Amino acid sequence: MVTWLLSPLAWLLLAFASMPWAWRHHRQRTWPTIACGLVIVIALAAMTPLVANMLSRPLERPLAEPAGCRSAPPSTAVVLGGGIDGRPRSAMDYTALNLASRRRVDRAVDWWGEGGGRRLVLQGGTGNPPLAELMAAYAGMRGVSASALQLEKGSFDTWSNARQAAQLTPRLPRRIVLVTSWIHMARAQEAFTSAGFEVCPLGTDLRRLPSRLPWALVPRTSGLANSEVALHEWVGLVNYRWRGRHGIERTAVAGETGQ
């Protein structure tokens, strides 16, 4: 329900559905008609590349790295799943991974190949088979050895990703590389920091759209999709920061700082 309400398309449909009622009452009160008109304008504007980029650009800015990310870089990367498209036929059917998941695994595999002794923790427990197993199959196809992979298959969202990662056995080090889409990184970093980790961000999958005027003012499905994702991230970020500041489900990580 909350996700649906964060969609500009839902705002547009609600406004159009409310127009007959607003029109019947326009003689007594003008505000219902004006309100519906404003919602329609705002919803259409949110579907344009210009507004979609305005919503997503602050989220996709590179985040500051802790000093230890360079002085003592971690050898463990946690890779967050981005979902699947369709229904996988087996745990080896990595073709069911959506584009965000594949790009995250690709970025993580490239990082893994840049140094010896590195390992990847793949997270995602939704679906049957779990998302983490599909990611592992894809990483294996890219040449990552099974001994370099650790799977976490009990989480269902970003907040539980962080909590489940903090409970893995063997324990993860306190300082980790976190791999996810740039638009998702701020919320993911908030969740993992509140779980006791020191995060070295490694982002991928930029979602910026071409914004040349006047075409950037034309509503389109790509603008709608990016605005929905950005609005979801903004609301989630506020929620996670509130949770973190109030110590909700705070978890201590037992691993040592560094590698």
- Domain ranges in the chain are 59-209+237-245
pLDDT per residue, tens digit, the chain (259 aa), is 567 789 999 999 998 888 877 666 665 567 777 888 899 999 999 999 999 999 999 999 888 888 889 999 999 999 999 999 989 999 999 999 999 999 999 999 999 999 889 999 999 987 889 999 999 999 999 999 999 999 999 999 999 999 999 999 999 999 999 999 999 999 999 999 999 999 999 999 888 888 888 999 999 999 999 999 999 999 999 999 888 777 655 444 444 433 3
Residue labelled with tokens 């605005």: 227
Q: Would you state the pLDDT for residue 1?
A: 54
176 C-beta neighbours (distance < 10 Å), count? 24
Question: What pLDDT, on the 0 to 100 scale, is given for residue 255?
Answer: 42
Residues 187 and 233: beta-carbon distance below 8 Å: yes
Neighbour count for residue 193 (Cβ, 10 Å): 16
* pLDDT given for residue 254 in this prediction: 41
State the pLDDT at residue 27: 59
Which CATH number, 2.60.40.10, 2.30.110.10, 3.40.50.300, 3.40.50.620, labels domain 59-209+237-245? 3.40.50.620
Q: What's the confidence (pLDDT) of residue 57?
A: 93
Gap between the Cα atoms of 245 and 12, Å rounded: 35
Burial class, 90, CB count within 10 angstroms (exposed 0-12 / middle 13-18 / buried 19+): exposed
Task: Give residue 251's region: left, alpha or beta (phi > 0; psi -120 to 50).
Answer: beta
